[in-house]
Structure 1
Amino acid sequence: MRKVIDANYFQSPDLRRYLEASKANIAVLPDIAGMEAYKGDPVRNLELSYEILHRFPRQVLILRGTRIIIKTAADTKNHTRWMVDKEQTAGFAQFYRQIKVAAGGDEPHIRAVQRTAMDAIDHFDRVRRDVADLPTAYEGMASIYTEADQRQLRLGLDRATGPLRNKVVRQMLELAAFSLRKHPDVQNFPRQLDGAVRRLPARYSIANYLLFIRKLLSGGHRSVGSAHLASDVADMMYIAYATYFDGLLSKEKMVNEVYRDVLTVLSWIEQPSKPSRLSWSAGDV
């Protein structure tokens, strides 16, 4: 089993049990997990975050950077080997030894960690700025769902009837198309639906839309702070990555529930025997 690990799972005894249960159990680390480990006191947090993982270095799989993965846009239908950063994966044990040296007070190693931490801080600052207008967008997205729609959605996504299911899928695929067209690293817009939903920005958009529906049903879409929205971005990225592997290990109930919803929606999209053409444009959203 290869499961994506949420940073909130790093210090959990459950992670140790997962890795001890079988040498075939692999911890998959996307770049967002690494960036979250640099928060706060980066040296101390890295030391604590990777304390369990460093005991199982052959069971750690580190992925390439998200922007590189999006730009590469390799086929994810049958394999994910192209996502793996072979150099960082092979060097994980050495990396942790360097963290221990920094934790022991070695100034050059501490400065090296702090330089990388600044990149992570800059990333999260940009995310907070980028999500500032999301509540306004949520209001517009909410307007298409009637009270009857919302009552039905509260029964569970898997119980949505045909018309409502089609409405949900149509809206999220339009958002996915918009994301693919606007993302600076997407070089070739996929014309087939099955190719589109294999792209990482599309899966992130689907996860984000399903999170929006949850906020809509609870009334929480109207007043969400930028810090909370920035945290949502990280959570939805874990979910998007997990759809390519064998699951997700997270301590957050909401994250696990949205992940299951994403799998449900992907199963809906994959049901047609012949892939549909992506006929909408970014301007349709």
Structure 2
Amino acid sequence: MSARGMRIVIDSNRMQSDELRAFLSMSPNNKAVLTDYAAMEAFQGDTLISIQASWSVLRYYPKQILALKGTRAAAKVDPCSAGIADRLVEKSETKAISDFSRVLDNAAKGDIIAQRQLLQRGKWANDHMAAMLAKAEDMHLSIAEFCAVFTEVELQRLRRKEPWKAETAAKFFDLVAHLTEISFAAHPDKLRWPKGRHLLNHFLYRHTLAYCVYMTRLVIKGAVTRKASLARNDAVDVIFATLATYFNGFMSADSQAATIHHITSFLLSEAGARVPEDYMERYAVEIENHMEADGMEDRADLVSPFSL
């Protein structure tokens, strides 16, 4: 590992994994990067139980956790300067995480004050998550609207996973640019359109690109409609995948989310955008060997959250 280490966006479904434990234990410079969605999802359900389980790995590495800004603030980060990933980190929340393990420990020991703190945070997380999900599809096209951009022949080629012709690719990226313009216009903070190729590094462009990759995959699968509940969850996957393009990859058990991230990163890199090295390209085997050496297995579901 480099002296700086690797910084990986962690999906909610990998917060309890031995893969995460191995990654963090390999170097003190490795960082788990958490979106606000992952942090809020950790409180879902019975708060006092779910948060202990979700934090069963991270609690031992409080100095190796980075909290990210929300999507509104992420869109305000200037893509023209270096260090975009650093500026996506929410410093105050990251600092607060260092003390969170102590609150969990006290709550697990029966400290009423600590338990009340967690319950209050859990209520806020549930309310805030509901509000965020309600807005998750504001900019989205329906599958029919997306398909209308392409000819029937082009759609058939997409479904057969055949190589794209130049005309099809041009339509796809024109759609990405158009939807990005809509997102810029709708943003409440009156964002300035980036100059030249800096647009490729802007959060709103990358988010729109990831969304269009997601829509393309729905077309390939032959989907015609998408249930609202599934679409909202997919919208969160797209945000995870987008933010991961600024860091060293995405640790997820969701194949769809991981694929969206992989394809989006590839397209950005091909277009000349700044995309950091993915941890899977160099360290996947090393992490696996580390897990085997320590006898790790994914058994988070068998551990009592209050016996940590």
* CA–CA distance in structure 1, aligned partners of residues 92 and 139 of structure 2: 37
Report how far residue 181 of structure 1 moved. Answer: 1.6
Report how far residue 95 of structure 1 moved. Answer: 0.9
Equivalent of 2:234 in 227, 232, 235? 232
**1:219 aligns to what?**
222
CA pair 74-214 structure 1, distance change in 2 beyond 3 A: closer
Q: Map of 1:133-152 to 2, 5 A cutoff? A: 137-152=142-157
Deviation per CA, 1:197-217: give whole Å up to 9, x if none: 322222112111111111122
Deviation per CA, 1:227-280: give whole Å up to 9, x if none: 211111211111111011111100111111111111122134338xxxxxxxxx
Determine helix, strand or coil for the equivalent of 2:248. coil
Deviation per CA, 1:111-147: give whole Å up to 9, x if none: 3223322332223323443357888732222122233
Contact 2:211 2:238 in 1 (8 A): yes
| 2:213 is equivalent to residue 210 of structure 1 | yes
Corresponding letter in the other structure for 1:110? Q
* CA–CA distance in structure 2, aligned partners of residues 146 and 237 of structure 1: 29
In the alignment, structure 2 segments of 5+ residues that lack a partner are 1-5, 274-308
* CA–CA distance in structure 1, aligned partners of residues 206 and 140 of structure 2: 21
Identical residues among aligned pairs (%)? 26
Corresponding letter in the other structure for 2:220? L
Report how far residue 11 of structure 1 moved. Answer: 0.8
* CA–CA distance in structure 1, aligned partners of residues 243 and 81 of structure 2: 11
**1:197 aligns to what?**
200
Corresponding letter in the other structure for 2:57? I
Determine helix, strand or coil for the equivalent of 1:165. helix
**1:170 aligns to what?**
174
> Which of 5-14 and 69-78 deviates more?
69-78
CA pair 103-22 structure 1, distance change in 2 beyond 3 A: same
| 2:194 is equivalent to residue 181 of structure 1 | no
Equivalent of 1:119 in 120, 124, 129? 124
Q: CA RMSD in A?
A: 2.5
Contact 1:128 1:227 in 2 (8 A): no
Task: Give the paired residue count.
Answer: 268
The TM-score, its normalising length taken from structure 1, stands at: 0.83
* CA–CA distance in structure 1, aligned partners of residues 202 and 124 of structure 2: 25
**1:3 aligns to what?**
8
The TM-score, its normalising length taken from structure 2, stands at: 0.78
Contact 1:42 1:113 in 2 (8 A): yes
